Chains A and B, each alone.
Chain A
Amino acid sequence: MIGGRWALIGGLIALMIVAAVASLALGSVPLAPARVLAALAGHGDPVATAIVIELRLPRTILGLGVGAMLGLAGAALQGYLRNPLAEPSVLGASNAAALGAVGAIYFGLAELHPLVLPVLAIAAALVALALLFTLAGKSESPLTLILAGIAVSTLAGAAISLALNLSPNPFAAMEIMTWLLGSLENRSFQHVWIALPCIAVGGALLLYDGRALDALTLGEDGARALGTDLRATRLRLLLGVAIGVGGAVAVSGSIGFVGLIVPHLVRPLTDRSPSAILLPSALAGAVLLTLADIGVRLIPSTNELKLGVVTAFLGVPVFLAYLMRERRLW
């Protein structure tokens, strides 16, 4: 499978480059790939340069980064919790980050500076992590962690509903709703600089533990008997999810399903061990979210479609396919 693994990773990297160039070229003003590449290289015409560098490049970078983070976090959590239904939001990080962002909008703090919202979102994700550790205690069983995650996630969700409920006027409520749907529209390099370091740190923490995730195939005792320090693994994994997913949600809003479906798409192409799907899931997540973001721009509609809406619709057929395979219908 080693050769297969590098072929898969190489293929996904190629797809990612194609998706990235397409994301720079396509939109309300289509540009030829040659003009895009010229603008990237620094000798393009002023119009192309403005569109590509100022408008589309941050959006493309964020699409790749957020998609990679969500795919990787889903793969790592499915491996760690040994549950094919785990996704980045299962431990509450996404909802908590969304709550931080909603708080910033609700209290009008988001208008003070463009960075207030993402910073508050990341802070909320870290607070949720601390709460998760308190609730889950020392137990290493995935069940207690999922239960604690559901508690944290539900609490954050309830607080978001409360903010919507109490919002002073329909416009404030609309602003919150719109943000919650998830989008990469009108993102600048400021957003890139706040999200990318978080995603890099989170991604590194998650990629480090492939070995431990493989060992967990044999259960907690099996993994510990193979030399895995489960406590350190859990700390790295949860920190990685909180920082990485927190940073991603902070700039993109809640984008569901990517973290859930990408590992399922990738798994049949690997040897199915948890470590083997980590990097491919990150790459495939980047491709999927970038393609979805291109779709958002190209599908004609009066309001621009929100990315989170499109990914949710994408998720359903993938799940149906998975279900049919489980039922051995094909």
Chain B
Amino acid sequence: MVTIALDGVGVSLGRRPVVRDVSAVLAPGALVGIIGPNGAGKSTLLRAMLGLTPSTGGIRIDDAPIATMARGVIARKLAYLPQGQTLHWPLTVERLVALGRLPHLAPMSRLGDADTAAVERALERAGVADLRDRIATDLSGGERARVLLARALAVEAPALLADEPLASLDPRHQIDVMDLLRAEARGGALVVTVLHDLTMAARYCDRLLLMDAGTIVADGTPLDVLTPERLRAVYGITATIERHGETTTIVPTARAY
């Protein structure tokens, strides 16, 4: 169980402030979506939570300031799925997913039975077990995205931070991945994911953080956050929002201005 607490977090790239004064407490057992237009600072905020970029304000992982934590400790608590990851060597899928076990290995040791089992679970859950002997760099974009998700799952960390996990996936696999993220959260993990598909965000997330120009402009349940007024103000669109019982559909219809 991991709680990430953000207190007035700011990040500047060069001199340009990209994230400004973000405060939120992300508690375990929830699927938290970060949404917002391009350049709103979503990915940068995610990177700051992982300590991958210097930030001002306070970021605490279970009450420990992230700046004081060793990389190995962070790696065992937070699994990270970056967006559009490049692979630099043509590894097999199985070997690539096994990289997720690195945070758990002592120096100079090899994968143990527990690690192999974790890799196996990750392959199964991401639905890529049949690809295990393929070369990861030869896969299609969607297959590769699922393999990289399996890599992040193989860490078996109490928190998963996924940056646009749905990019380049077909509709069925988008549903598979969202089901999987929700299952992770139901199992007690904290799952934070950057999303662009508002319908998916509304349907699956327990909580949404809507970002615009580096700050959080709305934080709450999807029903509270996704209002026509906000979509107009933040995204500059008009949208049809339909609710059929449990499911919500959001269809952007036109530019608002």
Q: Do A and B come from one complex?
A: yes
A82 and B50 alpha carbons, distance in the complex (Å): 23
A227 touches B52 (CB 8 A): no
B75 touches A226 (CB 8 A): yes
Determine how close the nearest CB of chain B comes to the CB of A61; give it in whole angstroms: 26
A217 touches B75 (CB 8 A): no
A214 to chain B: which residues have CB within 8 Å?
99, 102
> B91 interface residue, CB < 8 Å from A?
yes
A215 to chain B: which residues have CB within 8 Å?
99, 102
B99 touches A225 (CB 8 A): no
> A54 interface residue, CB < 8 Å from B?
no
B88 touches A216 (CB 8 A): yes
With A227-B76, A274-B89 known to touch, is A217 a contact of B47 (CB < 8 Å)? no
> A144 interface residue, CB < 8 Å from B?
no
- Which bucket holds chain A's interface residue count? 20 to 34
Determine how close the nearest CB of chain A comes to the CB of B189; give it in whole angstroms: 16
A218 and B82 alpha carbons, distance in the complex (Å): 9
> A221 interface residue, CB < 8 Å from B?
yes
> B245 interface residue, CB < 8 Å from A?
no
A225 to chain B: which residues have CB within 8 Å?
50, 52, 74-75, 78-80, 82
How many chain B residues touch A (Cβ–Cβ < 8 Å)?
Answer: 34
Determine how close the nearest CB of chain A comes to the CB of B14; give it in whole angstroms: 13
> B90 interface residue, CB < 8 Å from A?
yes
> A229 interface residue, CB < 8 Å from B?
yes
A217 touches B52 (CB 8 A): no
> A188 interface residue, CB < 8 Å from B?
no
With A224-B71, A271-B91 known to touch, is A218 a contact of B76 (CB < 8 Å)? no
> A211 interface residue, CB < 8 Å from B?
yes
Option from A211, A216, A222, A272 in Cβ contact (under 8 Å) with B82: A222
Report A58-91 residues with CB < 8 Å from chain B CB: 79, 82
Option from B71, B108, B110 in Cβ contact (under 8 Å) with A229: B71
Determine how close the nearest CB of chain A comes to the CB of B44; give it in whole angstroms: 12
A272 to chain B: which residues have CB within 8 Å?
89-91, 95
Determine how close the nearest CB of chain A comes to the CB of B195; give it in whole angstroms: 19
A211 and B98 alpha carbons, distance in the complex (Å): 12
Determine how close the nearest CB of chain A comes to the CB of B110; give it in whole angstroms: 8
Report B81-128 residues with CB < 8 Å from chain A CB: 82, 85-92, 95-96, 99-100, 102-103, 105, 107-108, 110
A1 and B111 alpha carbons, distance in the complex (Å): 13
A230 and B20 alpha carbons, distance in the complex (Å): 27
Report A184-234 residues with CB < 8 Å from chain B CB: 208, 211, 214-219, 221-222, 224-229
Determine how close the nearest CB of chain A comes to the CB of B58; give it in whole angstroms: 20
Name the residue of chain A whose CB is nearest to the CB of B109.
A211
B74 touches A227 (CB 8 A): yes
> B72 interface residue, CB < 8 Å from A?
yes
B85 to chain A: which residues have CB within 8 Å?
218-219, 222
B99 touches A226 (CB 8 A): yes
Option from B72, B76, B89, B151 in Cβ contact (under 8 Å) with A273: B89
Q: A1-41 toward B: CB 8 Å interface, digit per residue (1/0)?
A: 11000000000000000000000000000000000000000
Q: Could you say which of B52, B82, B88, B107 has the most chain A C-beta atoms within 10 Å of its C-beta? A: B88
Name the residue of chain B whose CB is nearest to the CB of A2.
B110
A227 to chain B: which residues have CB within 8 Å?
71-76, 102-103
Q: Could you say which of B47, B89, B90, B155 has the most chain A C-beta atoms within 10 Å of its C-beta? A: B89
With A211-B102, A226-B102, A227-B76 known to touch, is A217 a contact of B71 (CB < 8 Å)? no
Name the residue of chain A whose CB is nearest to the CB of B73.
A227
B74 to chain A: which residues have CB within 8 Å?
225, 227
A228 to chain B: which residues have CB within 8 Å?
71, 102
B82 to chain A: which residues have CB within 8 Å?
218-219, 221-222, 225
Option from B88, B95, B107 in Cβ contact (under 8 Å) with A211: B107
A274 and B99 alpha carbons, distance in the complex (Å): 12
A272 and B96 alpha carbons, distance in the complex (Å): 11
B52 touches A226 (CB 8 A): no
Determine how close the nearest CB of chain B comes to the CB of A42; give it in whole angstroms: 36
Q: B116-160 toward A: CB 8 Å interface, digit per residue (1/0)?
A: 000000000000000000000000000000000001000100000
Option from B70, B72, B89 in Cβ contact (under 8 Å) with A217: B89
A-B contact pairs, 6 of them (CB 8 A): A214-B102, A218-B82, A218-B85, A219-B88, A226-B100, A272-B91
Known: A221-B80, A226-B75, A229-B70; 19 extra A-B contacts, CB below 8 A, are A1-B95, A2-B110, A211-B102, A214-B102, A215-B99, A217-B87, A217-B88, A218-B87, A218-B99, A218-B151, A219-B88, A224-B71, A225-B52, A225-B78, A226-B155, A227-B76, A228-B71, A272-B95, A273-B95
